[in-house]
Chain A
Amino acid sequence: MRTIQTEVLVIGGGATGTGVIADLALRGFRCALVEKRDLAHGTTGRYHGLLHSGGRYAVKDPKAATECIEENVILRRIMPHCIEDTGGFFVVTPWDDDAFGDRFMQGCRDTAVPCEEISIPHMLREEPHLNPGISRCFRVPDGSADSFLATQSVAALAQAHGAQILHYYEVKQLIRQGDRVVGALCYDLVKDEEVAVHADLVVNAAGAWAGKIAHTAEVEVNVRAGKGTMIAASYRIVNTVVNRCKMPADGDIIVPVHTVSIIGTTDEGVPDPEHFAIEPWEVQLMMQEAAKIVPGWHDLRMLRCWGGVRPLYQETKVADTRDVTRAYTLLDHETRDGVAGFITITGGKWTTYRQMAQVTVDRVCEKLGTARPCTTHETVVPNPFEQGHGRQHHNLGQRLADVEKEEAFGQLICECELATRADVEHAITQGEAKTIDDVRRDVRVGMGPCQGGFCTYRVAAIWHELKKPSIEETNVTLRDFLQERWKGLMPILWGPQLKQERLDELIYLSVLNADHLPGPRASRLGPAMYEPGTVWESDHAHV
């Protein structure tokens, strides 16, 4: 069996894991990260896209609010290219309690979240599609953040400082020697082989999967998976993050992310972070709640629906509470369970990933008996896709402006998201892409209204040209991606998106005969589809 030796092994390539590996690398540790799929394949790539100001927690969870605003300021500074400075509103709709506004203001004051009340006419001038029945509006420094780009950027920073990032490496089992974890047994999905990674210390940053990982070393960590469902409308009906001003609940935030507006989310316990359903009631609830904020919401085209799973940690043992906040949890299994060489970091927010990484690596230093100061709060994260362009906040018009400047109209592969041939080629040849879905996370192909209808075959052709796989391999790559797009369309097939899917279906199944092309139907790199939703039996169903 192949083996890899390193000082610190990080499990999980989400925001937390990549944050930890970058911090480790910057502090000069030899380190490796294993991720069972692509970076941001987990919750990080399925989140709501909100750079929290802390406003959401100002009343309910002040500690989390403070963490958010501290990190909000830092992230804007260190990764501006991943953040759009949309600003945020908290609005009191006719369904909410007017008086909550005052509690909200007070909460923001107490937690140092900047907040000002603005007039309704002013609000409507900025966001004309908001409900004119809104009675109060507060402005906070929320933002919109691209977690794909952020994760890639942070990982690239780690690599630049010597870290090893291993994609499509799934941890099968932690390697335990006596009361010490000494590494992990991994499976390389691409090469189809087992690899043993040995390390002095293992950091478990597997999000909602953290319990499963720990379990393989007979350490019990009770992480429940809390599913949240989100729906993207096909364009930016709002350009500001809009939160309902009330206690946090389901479907109360609309976030403008890149070209879309996302309504979210729900919070439902599911038995398995990988296998869950998107329920029809969730879709209905999102539509209904969104319309309270933007009354025309029902007329918009819904582009896609997806779910992510929150890692909800519940302590069952007497914990080492030193670094435990209500927002995220650091478990030192040596003090907690008597198992050395093993740390778990879980919970938290995307917004607080850097702080989570910092406390984790502080603990690593302590464990490995060295003192090295953290520098991530002052290290600007470069944009791996655009050298030298990383210092400005992202904005919506940027891609269009780039394409216009280069007159690259004829070079568009994904027309909806304006991804050019050069973008796609760069992602295929320079990046770590193993599937078209990985290319999507890098350059947003297939994420627009047609959901891959016109770009999938183009990307597959470029893929084939550049990577020179067998025809069968290219065919299955194409099929995997079509399946992946289909996955998020099923829950929202009505109106224009239904028409679109019918056209896409004709393109792929009738014109290109995609499901009968030679090669396997699907590969192990393909998507895990959502489970079927709970079927509701109507009273009249059997009449």
Chain B
Amino acid sequence: MTNNIWEAQLDITPSDHKPVELTLDHCIKCNICVTACPVTAVTDLFPGPKYVGPQAGRFRHQGQPSPDHSVDYCNGCRVCNMVCPTGVKIAEINGRARAHIVQSGQVPLRRKLRNNLIARPELMGKVGQPLAPIANVLLHSGFGRFFAKLLLDIAPNAPLPRFSGERFSRWARKRPDAVRSARKVVYFHGCSTEYFEARVGKAAVQVLEANGFEVIVPPQNCCGLPLLSNGEFAAAQAYHESNIHHLIDYVKQGCVIVGTSTSCTLTLKEEAPEMLAYHTPDAQLLTANTFDIHEFLVHLLDAGELKTDGLKPMPLTLAYHPPCQYRAHRLGRPSTEIMALIPELTIIESQAACCGVGGTYGYKAEKYDITMAVGKSLFDFVQEVNGPIAVCDSETCRWNIAAVTGVPFVHPIELLAAAYGYEPEGPLAEVMK
């Protein structure tokens, strides 16, 4: 039986999952992760992935409060996992160690409040988006930022996004011209598209429809990654379970899940199940059938099913940063492959390991300087390329790099949608004028 890429795989063999801590046994102390870690390189506060991961892991005791704090300086970029020659799940060990610190009540109250706020983009979106005009002014005023720092230790210069005028899901629901087709995919928009950058979701829907798919946008929650990175596992698990609940029936009917937020898709695919040790059959089914949008498009391309004719030329030279959370999918560079199809578009890829923001990490006052130091070479690179806009798949990275460099950022899917002839919005519209 040949399986179409857009048909969900239902006959997966459930794999046997060991706790990630057991992988520490494979560490041969080679230090490759330490030399690759972008955080260790810039601060003495973070002793490095080897130290906080497999090494400290041997001293953690399930029944005792975690004696370590340096692990909280890991920004979760997962570069260590990627370079480890023996397969130690370092980032997950760190994430679980941090959760242990949180659970044992070792985080001071103010920080705990802050972390719980910034780790809930869905909540912020639900409250803030309807009040977008006021909320945007307030959050971006010096006054608002001053109080955010004072009350919650939120870095005054951290890149806060702006709420969209309309929620993406509302737009998706109201479309009279939506394509109906036997080929269906489910789109996972994530919080950033839903509340802040509806244009990314629109571009995704346009591209998928241009390729003959009907796009289903079911109700869904935050993927839970920000909570996972802040050690709030119980809340993260509630989100994950709710997402499985919302999505699994579509998968069982044969639809795959496609997302534009690289870290959301990575969370559904890998981070949530591994960090939470949550491996129910449904969770495994979801894992096997979730795709990053460019991963999905590359599969279509390979099958000769991607629309590649009549693409509009785009005479631009743009910097592109493949985010660490994207590389962690271990897929190569699918976005680069797709962007290469667009005539006259020149993409210069960054070699930087990480922009530093690490999701919510860069929003924390005590970590902001580290974020800036980690991202330095990337910021310089973007400024050197000096395009009118730059490209990145991950939202917090886009916001961070844009805030520092002043160069507006777009998601690569927006370029393809524009090349297909759709009217762009936001920074790309300015450039294409």
* Nearest-neighbor residue (CB-CB) of B27 within chain A: A449
For B26, give its contact among A301, A404, A410 (CB under 8 Å).
Answer: A301
- Least Cβ–Cβ distance between B20 and chain A, in angstroms: 13
Within 8 A of A (CB), among B41-78: 44-45, 47-48, 50-51, 55-64, 66-70
- Least Cβ–Cβ distance between B70 and chain A, in angstroms: 6
B26 touches A448 (CB 8 A): no
B18 touches A410 (CB 8 A): no
B69 touches A234 (CB 8 A): no
A400 touches B59 (CB 8 A): yes
A454 touches B29 (CB 8 A): yes
Which residues from chain B contact A400 at a C-beta distance below 8 Å? 56, 59-60, 67-68
Within 8 A of B (CB), among A272-321: 296, 299-301
| CB within 8 Å for A239 and B61 given contacts A409-B47, A415-B51 | yes
Which residues from chain B contact A301 at a C-beta distance below 8 Å? 25-26
Q: CB-defined interface of A213-249 with B at 8 Å, one 1/0 digit per residue?
A: 0000000000000000000001110010000000000
Which residues from chain A contact B68 at a C-beta distance below 8 Å? 400-401, 404
A500 touches B70 (CB 8 A): no
For A299, give its contact among B18, B45, B60, B62 (CB under 8 Å).
Answer: B18
CA distance A396 to B55 in the complex (A): 13
* Nearest-neighbor residue (CB-CB) of A237 within chain B: B22
Which residues from chain B contact A259 at a C-beta distance below 8 Å? 58-59
A396 touches B29 (CB 8 A): no
A415 touches B28 (CB 8 A): no
| CB within 8 Å for A236 and B58 given contacts A299-B22, A404-B70 | yes
CA distance A407 to B66 in the complex (A): 16
CA distance A404 to B47 in the complex (A): 10
Is residue A135 within 8 Å, beta carbon to beta carbon, of the partner chain?
no
Which residues from chain A contact B28 at a C-beta distance below 8 Å? 449-450, 453, 496, 499-500, 503
Which residues from chain A contact B47 at a C-beta distance below 8 Å? 409-410
CA distance A412 to B56 in the complex (A): 12
Is residue A464 within 8 Å, beta carbon to beta carbon, of the partner chain?
no
B18 touches A500 (CB 8 A): no
* Nearest-neighbor residue (CB-CB) of B47 within chain A: A409
- Least Cβ–Cβ distance between B56 and chain A, in angstroms: 6
Which residues from chain A contact B60 at a C-beta distance below 8 Å? 396-397, 400
Which residues from chain A contact B30 at a C-beta distance below 8 Å? 503
Number of interface residues of A (CB under 8 A): 34
Is residue B198 within 8 Å, beta carbon to beta carbon, of the partner chain?
no
A415 touches B29 (CB 8 A): yes
Which residues from chain B contact A449 at a C-beta distance below 8 Å? 25, 27-29, 58
| CB within 8 Å for A404 and B63 given contacts A299-B18, A415-B50, A450-B29 | no
CA distance A493 to B45 in the complex (A): 36
CA distance A449 to B66 in the complex (A): 21
- Least Cβ–Cβ distance between A151 and chain B, in angstroms: 23
CA distance A401 to B50 in the complex (A): 17
Is residue A119 within 8 Å, beta carbon to beta carbon, of the partner chain?
no
Which residues from chain B contact A397 at a C-beta distance below 8 Å? 59-61, 64, 66-67
For B25, give its contact among A300, A398, A401, A407 (CB under 8 Å).
Answer: A300
CA distance A218 to B148 in the complex (A): 86
CA distance A299 to B322 in the complex (A): 36
Which residues from chain A contact B44 at a C-beta distance below 8 Å? 407, 409-410
CA distance A2 to B160 in the complex (A): 80
Which residues from chain B contact A454 at a C-beta distance below 8 Å? 29
* Nearest-neighbor residue (CB-CB) of A409 within chain B: B47
CA distance A395 to B59 in the complex (A): 9
A496 touches B25 (CB 8 A): yes
Which residues from chain B contact A236 at a C-beta distance below 8 Å? 58, 61
A404 touches B69 (CB 8 A): yes
Is residue A399 within 8 Å, beta carbon to beta carbon, of the partner chain?
yes
CA distance A396 to B64 in the complex (A): 9
CA distance A453 to B27 in the complex (A): 12
CA distance A410 to B34 in the complex (A): 12
CA distance A416 to B24 in the complex (A): 12
* Nearest-neighbor residue (CB-CB) of A395 within chain B: B64
Within 8 A of B (CB), among A492-507: 496, 499-500, 503
Q: CB-defined interface of A244-257 with B at 8 Å, one 1/0 digit per residue?
A: 00000000000000
Q: CB-defined interface of A452-487 with B at 8 Å, one 1/0 digit per residue?
A: 011000000000000000000000000000000000
Q: Give the interface size class of chain B.
A: 20 to 34
Is residue B405 within 8 Å, beta carbon to beta carbon, of the partner chain?
no
Q: CB-defined interface of B13-40 with A at 8 Å, one 1/0 digit per residue?
A: 0000010001011111110000000000
CA distance A496 to B28 in the complex (A): 8
Is residue B86 within 8 Å, beta carbon to beta carbon, of the partner chain?
yes
B64 touches A448 (CB 8 A): no
| CB within 8 Å for A496 and B26 given contacts A259-B58, A397-B59, A397-B60 | yes
* Nearest-neighbor residue (CB-CB) of B70 within chain A: A404
Is residue A184 within 8 Å, beta carbon to beta carbon, of the partner chain?
no
CA distance A498 to B264 in the complex (A): 38
Is residue A418 within 8 Å, beta carbon to beta carbon, of the partner chain?
yes
- Least Cβ–Cβ distance between B292 and chain A, in angstroms: 32
CA distance A299 to B47 in the complex (A): 28
CA distance A420 to B63 in the complex (A): 26
- Least Cβ–Cβ distance between A122 and chain B, in angstroms: 13
A234 touches B58 (CB 8 A): yes
- Least Cβ–Cβ distance between B172 and chain A, in angstroms: 44
B62 touches A234 (CB 8 A): no
Within 8 A of B (CB), among A397-440: 397-401, 404, 407, 409-410, 412, 415-416, 418
For A416, give its contact among B18, B22, B58, B64 (CB under 8 Å).
Answer: B58
| CB within 8 Å for A235 and B69 given contacts A396-B64, A397-B61 | no
CA distance A296 to B16 in the complex (A): 12
CA distance A396 to B65 in the complex (A): 11
A409 touches B24 (CB 8 A): no
- Least Cβ–Cβ distance between B291 and chain A, in angstroms: 32
CA distance A315 to B67 in the complex (A): 51
B55 touches A415 (CB 8 A): yes
* Nearest-neighbor residue (CB-CB) of B66 within chain A: A397
Which residues from chain B contact A300 at a C-beta distance below 8 Å? 22, 25
- Least Cβ–Cβ distance between A451 and chain B, in angstroms: 10
- Least Cβ–Cβ distance between B31 and chain A, in angstroms: 8
- Least Cβ–Cβ distance between A461 and chain B, in angstroms: 17
Q: CB-defined interface of B383-418 with A at 8 Å, one 1/0 digit per residue?
A: 000000000000000000000000000000000000
Instruction: Determine which residue in B18, B45, B61, B69 has the highest number of CB atoms from chain A within 10 A of its CB, and name it.
Output: B61
Q: CB-defined interface of A500-518 with B at 8 Å, one 1/0 digit per residue?
A: 1001000000000000000
Which residues from chain B contact A418 at a C-beta distance below 8 Å? 55, 59
- Least Cβ–Cβ distance between A397 and chain B, in angstroms: 4
* Nearest-neighbor residue (CB-CB) of A301 within chain B: B25
CA distance A499 to B86 in the complex (A): 9
Interface residues of A (CB under 8 A from B): 126, 234-236, 239, 259, 296, 299-301, 395-401, 404, 407, 409-410, 412, 415-416, 418, 448-450, 453-454, 496, 499-500, 503
A-B contact pairs, 17 of them (CB 8 A): A234-B25, A235-B25, A235-B58, A299-B22, A299-B25, A395-B64, A396-B64, A400-B59, A404-B70, A407-B44, A415-B51, A416-B55, A418-B55, A418-B59, A500-B28, A500-B29, A503-B30
Interface residues of B (CB under 8 A from A): 18, 22, 24-30, 44-45, 47-48, 50-51, 55-64, 66-70, 86
Q: Which 3 A-B pairs have the closest CB atoms?
A: A401-B67, A409-B47, A397-B67
Besides A296-B18, A296-B22, A301-B25, 8 new A-B residue pairs in contact (Cβ under 8 A), listed by A number? A236-B58, A239-B62, A396-B61, A397-B61, A397-B66, A400-B56, A400-B59, A415-B29
